[in-house]
Structure formats: structure tokens, C-alpha cells
Amino acid sequence: MIRFNEVGYQYDQSAKATVRDLSLDLQSGSFYYLCGPSGAGKTTLFKMLYMDLLPTRGDLTLFGKNTKDLTRENIAQMRRRMGVVFQDFRLLKHLSVKENVALPLIFENKSQKAIDASVEEILDWVGLGDKLLSMPDELSGGEKQRVAIARAVINRPEILIADEPTGNVDDTMAARIIHLFSELNKHGTTVLLATHDKGLIENFPNECLFLEDGMLMKGQM
Ligand SMILES: Nc1ncnc2c1ncn2[C@@H]1O[C@H](COP(=O)(O)OP(=O)(O)OP(=O)(O)O)[C@@H](O)[C@H]1O
Ligand SMILES: [Mg+2]
């Protein structure tokens, strides 16, 4: 479902490549941690997966298509099959919590009543049942992060990519979030979760991909 073939990404011609020579097949239905120090290239890799960035070398194949050959419409369609938690959340400022979380459901033929019920259920799960009508600017960092998580999982995506999704929440909430991701994973979602949190990896073991200085190190933590 996701294949990197000698992928590189260089932000700037004069600088060294941020991601280098990355070859990797991600198995459909698996749960991977993406680990590695700050600046290793984790977010850059995720941006390529979300087709925000195209590889500057090599090929990235997603859902059977080379990301180099995509039209805008292809990209939009493929993104609807993915859930994403950005490191900087990317909530829409002018929409309420409830409206942000409902966004992925707009493309599905669901009644407003069904959408409201799903949104309320997931927001309850992440402890934000009382913030439905709040605006993003009125939330704390951890609350914004939980809204981003709710939005990413609400349509049970085929691929879930989450960049440090527990970075701003306490341990109890982090465990709840991982539990939620694991449940989706059991139902077939391929999960990729970037984290620095060793405790998380120890308590909820899954396969770990280790990125260092833009390169994938096999078999390390
Ligand atoms: N827009 C950009 N323009 C130029 N360089 C960039 C840009 N974004 C990131 N970089 C550089 O690419 C490298 C990798 O950054 P990236 O954000 O992918 O790291 P990361 O592994 O996600 O780090 P962290 O754990 O701190 O989130 C860094 O050296 C960073 O300075
Ligand atoms: Mg990052």
C-alpha cells in the first residue's frame, strides 16, 4: 500500500538532503512507530506521505499510484482515504471544534444526524464532549491536539499518519489515544505514528522504524 523506492527529499539545492535513499515497504494493516531525534526528517517523510511534498529523488507509491503522476483530483481523493494528525494540528480557525471534526464526513453520504452523533461520540472519547462549540483559538495545546486526532480518525481511514500525537497530553490521555489507534488498526487501518516518547513505545509495543539524519536505520530503537 505504501512503497518508498530510493526516496530522497531536499528542501534546498545548496543544503544536504533531509531524507536520503529511503527504500521501504509498509505492510497494509500494520502499526509502525517512526522514531528518531529532532531534525531527523520524520515530519518531512509524513509530508511526502500526505502529498504535501513530492520526493525530489526516487519514487513513492501510495494506493498503487506513483505520487509523481497525480492530478489535483487524485490527490484530493487519496487524502480522503487517509487520516492525518499534523505536528502543528492545522485546525481551521474559523470553524468550531465540532465543524473541524465533521470535515472528513462531508464527502460521505451521511445524514446530518448521523454526522452529529459520530462527532459527539469521538469528541467524548477524547474528553472534549463539552467543547463542541468552542473555536480553535479558545483551546489549549493538548485540546487542539485531541481535536486533530478526532478529525483524523472519524472516518476510519485506510492509512492514519500521526506526527507526535501525544506530545501535548498527559499519560492517561496518551494511553487512551493509543488505544483508539490500536482499535482502528485491528479493523484494518495502517498506522504510522511519529514519536519521541520511549515510554509509549515500551508500554504499547509495535514495530519501530528509526530515522537518523534522514536515513532509515534498520532494527534499532
Ligand atoms: N520548510 C523547510 N525548509 C528548509 N528546511 C526544512 C524545512 N522543514 C524542515 N527542514 C529541515 O529538515 C530537517 C528535518 O526536519 P523535520 O521537520 O522533518 O524533522 P523531524 O524529525 O520531524 O523533527 P522533530 O522531531 O523536531 O519534529 C531539519 O533539519 C529541518 O531544519
Ligand atoms: Mg517533526
Pocket of ligand 1 contains residue 42 by CB under 6 Å: yes
Cβ-contact 62, 24 below 8 angstroms = no
Q: Give the cell for residue 88.
A: 502543528
Which positions of the chain have pLDDT values less than 70?
A: 218-221
> CB neighbours of 192 closer than 8 A, spacing ≥ 6?
26, 32, 34, 46, 49, 159, 160, 161, 162
Say how many Å lie between the CA of residue 221 and the centre of ligand 1. 20
For ligand 1, whether the C-beta of 40 sits within 6 Å is: yes
Question: In a mutational test of the pocket of ligand 1, which residue from 38, 43, 216 has the highest number of ligand atoms less than 8 Å from its CB?
Answer: 43
**Residue nearest atom 31 of ligand 1, based on CA coordinates:** 39
Q: Is 195 in the pocket of ligand 1 (CB under 6 A)?
A: no
Give the alpha-carbon dihedral of 154, 160, 166, 168, to 10 degrees: -70
211 CA closest ligand 1 atom index: 21
At residue 220, the pLDDT reads 47
- 8 Å CB contact between 41 and 19: yes
**Residue 109, pLDDT score:** 83
Spell out a b/e string for 137-166, using b for 16 or more CB atoms within 10 Å of the CB, else e.
eebeeebbbbbbbbbbbbbebbbbbbbbbb
The DSSP bridge partners found for residue 25 are 3
For ligand 2, the distance from its centroid to the CA atom of residue 44, given in whole angstroms, is 7
Tell how far the Cα of 41 is from the centroid of ligand 2, in angstroms. 7
- Sheet containing strand 2-9, edge to edge, reads 19-26, 2-9, 57-62, 65-66
pLDDT at 195: 94
How many angstroms separate the CA atoms of 47 and 134, rounded?
28
The answer to whether the CB of 90 falls within 8 A of the CB of 46 is: no
| Ligand number, closest to the Cα atom of 34 | 1
Nearest-atom index, ligand 1, CA of 47: 18
Helix (H, G, I), strand (E, B) or coil at 203: helix
C-alpha 110 to ligand 2 mean position (Å): 34
- The answer to pTM > 0.85 is yes
**pLDDT tens, residue by residue, 143-193:** 999 999 999 999 999 999 999 999 888 999 999 999 999 999 999 999 999
C-beta neighbour count of 7 within 10 angstroms: 25
Element (H, E) at 6: strand 2-9
Which residue, among 152, 137, 143, 131, has the nearest Cα to 93 in the 3D structure?
137
